[in-house]
Chain A
Amino acid sequence: MAERSRPGLLERREARAAYVFIAPWIIGFIVFTAGPMIASLWLSFTDYSLVEPGQVVGTANYQQLVDDPRVAKSLANTFVYAAMFVPLGTAVALALAMLLHRVGRAAGFFRTVFYLPVMTPAVAAGAMFLLLLNGQRGLVNQVLGWFGVTGPNWTTDPAWLKPSLAVVSLWTVGGSIIIYLAALNNVPRQLHEAALLDGAGPVRRFVSVTLPMISGALFFTVITHTIAAMQMFDQAYTMFYGPQQKSTASDESLVYMVYLFQNAFEFFKMGFASAMAWVLFLIILVITVIQVRVGNRFVYYEGGSTR
């Protein structure tokens, strides 16, 4: 029995080859992800300025997180932004994917067009949106004006800073569109036909057939959108905290990662910034666990457990 369970020569060779092939990723993970994470955990218990060696300060950085009102402010801003972007990003990406699904022969062209913004540097996109969303002379408000709508001062009115960030972030939903499109293409045609024969209308078919069948893709993107929203940095930094903008930046646009960056590289508080990073990691972990627990009740996995 024991003899038979031992892997054969071929299996051992294949296993060895497999390890060789995955070794670059494992090494990369240890060097560039796990190592820095462990280092930052240690740094979070030190007073480290990047210049002098860190001095161990126990949990002082974590205590300071509680005492610093800007940490709470930036965290609240980040939650509000995530609460806007995740549903909006999901809905817009799904709507565009459904349009693409119906396009037919030109789908390849439009897929490329919708994905291209993902390739645009965040700095360029941020600068472009600053002009587009300018409250006085921006194109967005000019277009709204044609319909008699007076647009807000998107980039300067504190009440509109987070909504404008959410709108700008829609620029990068191309990846989700591609995922949804693949999921929509995998929905069996016969299910739609059966629903049609039963007299179901378009809305009913979408709710009862399409949504359950693409729920796996939706679930995945909601989780990744949430993580990305909690780690929002590029657009917020470019639009409001770059060299030209930071002198006029409002606290309403201060997202968590920007404040973390300021502490690390402007105020020399790398230990405190590391503590901020770990708190964010735990927050994202808790949110993701909740999402997985709740999501598993609604997600349909093809070939998965039927419990």
Chain B
Amino acid sequence: MRSKFVVMAAAVGLLAGCAGVGGGSGDAGAGGGTAGGGTPQGSLKIMGFGGEDEVGQSRVNAFKQAYGGVKVSNAKGDFDAQQFLTALASGNPPDLVYMDRNLIGTYAKKGAIVPLEDCISKQQIDTSQYREAAMRSVTLADKVYGIPEFYIVTTNLVDAKSLKAAGVPTSEIQTKDWAALKATTAKLFKKNGNKLERIGFDPKLPEFFPLWATANGATIVKEDGAPNLNDPKAVEALEYTIGLVNGQGGWTTFKSFRDAFDIFGEKNPLSAGSVVAFPMENWYVNVLRDFIGSGLQLDSTPFTDHDGKPVSMVGGSAWAIPKGSKNPDAACAWAKTMTDKATWMKAADARIAKVKQDKSFFTGLFTANKPADEEIRAKYLTDVPDAGFKRAIDNFYSTLDDAVALNPSPAGAEIDAAWRSGVTRALGGQPAQQALDQAQKEAQAAFTKASGNG
């Protein structure tokens, strides 16, 4: 018995010893910095970046070619707040994180990510190349916390086949005259008993509430980051869009119908005639392009304000360096390389090669790098064979210079949760004013606390 115990104890000790050795070598291999010549070296641990398509891979390859001394380790997958924060709390953060730009304010305020002034200066990153709205969303209290990457904008996409069958001209899909849009929606909406058959115009609530509020003249997050969710113009926009939903079966039926959509498949809502029109983000035309052969007839109109001027919110992700990053130099070099004009051109080349291989066509690459966007458009977007897709792509491009992002806020995550929750309550039947008043109260409390006044 005793000898067995000794053997077991030794085995445990050996395992523990091995673990120690492994950990030690891992630590030794981690981190990095710059070699004598200032070129980043060592390992670079990335979190939150999928990037498995040709646009992602071509840029990853561009970095690896430029920085052969850096060993990149990417935990592929979307940004996971729990994974990131626990890694940070355990003292083992990634060197670089890829996250939605609307989270930057909150993470910056909490000290989870660091200002990039040193990075920008050392790597001589020209921040003027990035679109202003994108830079604004990664800047808090005059400090830059992220390097913006993609630039997601919105316009109206239309199922031309259903529209034609209903005898409604494309020009009636417009957001300038809300009363007229409501009448058009009623014409296009179809229901059979208690079963919805077709949504006429989907305002895409709750997620596009900021778009409708902005189009109506509201600024739901003020320049200083304070919430302004119950602005009368925002309340009016919410009342109007809820009216659109209520006129098409009411929220619970409407959402159930929408939840059953196969967004990425052949039976996507525009191909299947389940929705005639909705505001949608630019990446979706790249998905829809594959279904032209199966009968999709896409058309598009700009999403505008009441004066007819195109309006869009801006979304997208950014590269940020976490507090405690062991290799901030390599992280900074990565952020610069991935968003550089030359790298974006390589990504566009890779996308062009892919669409040629698929016997398809290019639908644009919407980046936060303005010179890159302009050159890509001029060089590659010369031949869009489908007139409806061309209109959609042109409409997306027409919003780029005027699109706006929600102002960054130290309580960005809480403000985001508050308005989403408020809009959902209003969709569930609570009066819009009351729902947004409550949302404002919750958001204001979080903002006051985050600003250090509470």
Contacts and interface: CB of A to CB of B under 8 A. Distances in A.
Nearest to B196: A136
B66 interface: no
A51 B323 contact: yes
Interface in A201-252: 243, 246-252
Interface in A184-198: none
A262 interface: yes
B41 interface: no
B35 interface: no
Contacts of A134: 256, 259-260
B110 A266 contact: no
Interface stretch (B81-89, B120-128, B378-386, B397-405): B81-89
B206 A247 contact: yes
Interface in B161-199: 194-196
Nearest to B438: A69
B1 A13 contact: yes
Contacts of A158: 252, 428
A17 B2 CA distance: 9
Contacts of B8: 20
Contacts of B159: none
B39 interface: no
Nearest to B4: A17
A150 B323 CA distance: 55
B129 interface: no
Interface in A253-307: 261-262, 264-268
A49 interface: yes
A51 B253 contact: no
28 contacts: A20-B5, A49-B111, A51-B85, A134-B256, A135-B253, A136-B195, A136-B256, A136-B260, A137-B260, A153-B252, A153-B255, A155-B259, A156-B253, A158-B252, A246-B420, A247-B206, A248-B255, A248-B424, A249-B420, A251-B424, A262-B417, A265-B81, A265-B85, A266-B81, A266-B413, A267-B414, A268-B106, A268-B112
A130 interface: yes
B424 A249 contact: yes
B424 A267 contact: no
Given A50-B85, A52-B111, A136-B196, A155 B424 contact: no
Majority secondary structure of chain A interface residues (helix, strand, loop or mixed): loop
A265 B88 CA distance: 12
Interface residues of B, number: 38
Interface string B95-117: 00000000000100011100000
A275 B256 CA distance: 36
B110 A51 contact: yes
Contacts of B88: 50-51
A150 B194 contact: yes
Nearest to B206: A247
A8 B254 CA distance: 76
B224 interface: no
A135 B259 CA distance: 9
Given A136-B196, A247-B206, A266 B259 contact: no
A131 interface: yes
B389 interface: no
Interface residues of A, number: 36
A170 to B, nearest CB: 21
Contacts of A137: 256-257, 260
B428 A250 contact: yes
Nearest to A145: B195
Contacts of A250: 424-425, 428
A157 B82 CA distance: 29
Q: In this complex, which of B111, B206, B207, B255 has the most chain A Cβ atoms within 10 angstroms of its Cβ?
A: B255
A26 to B, nearest CB: 14
Nearest to B322: A51
Interface in A45-69: 49-52
Contacts of A243: 78
Contacts of A153: 252-253, 255-256
Contacts of B5: 16-17, 20
The 4 closest A-B pairs by CB, nearest first: A135-B256, A153-B252, A137-B260, A157-B252
B454 to A, nearest CB: 11
A268 to B, nearest CB: 5
Given A138-B256, A153-B252, 16 more contacts: A13-B1, A16-B5, A20-B5, A49-B111, A50-B88, A50-B89, A51-B89, A131-B260, A135-B252, A138-B260, A156-B252, A246-B420, A251-B424, A252-B428, A266-B417, A268-B85
Nearest to A137: B260
Given A51-B323, A250-B428, A251-B424, A268 B260 contact: no
B424 A265 contact: no
A156 B417 contact: no
A248 B207 CA distance: 8
A251 B421 contact: yes
A46 to B, nearest CB: 13
B376 interface: no
A284 to B, nearest CB: 23
A20 B12 CA distance: 12
B425 A251 contact: yes
A17 B251 CA distance: 64
B446 interface: yes
A9 B196 CA distance: 80
A239 to B, nearest CB: 10
A251 B420 CA distance: 11
A158 B106 CA distance: 30
Contacts of A50: 85-86, 88-89, 112
A73 B412 CA distance: 23
Contacts of A136: 195-196, 253, 256-257, 260
A247 B420 contact: yes
A156 B256 contact: yes
B111 A155 contact: no
Contact of B112 (A20, A51, A262): A51
Contact of A49 (B110, B207, B256, B417): B110
Contacts of B427: 248
Q: In this complex, which of A16, A17, A50, A155 has the most chain B Cβ atoms within 10 angstroms of its Cβ?
A: A50
Contacts of B207: 247
A17 B110 CA distance: 50
A157 B427 CA distance: 11
B259 A130 contact: yes
A135 B195 CA distance: 9
Contacts of B110: 49, 51-52, 268
A224 B21 CA distance: 42
Contacts of A131: 260
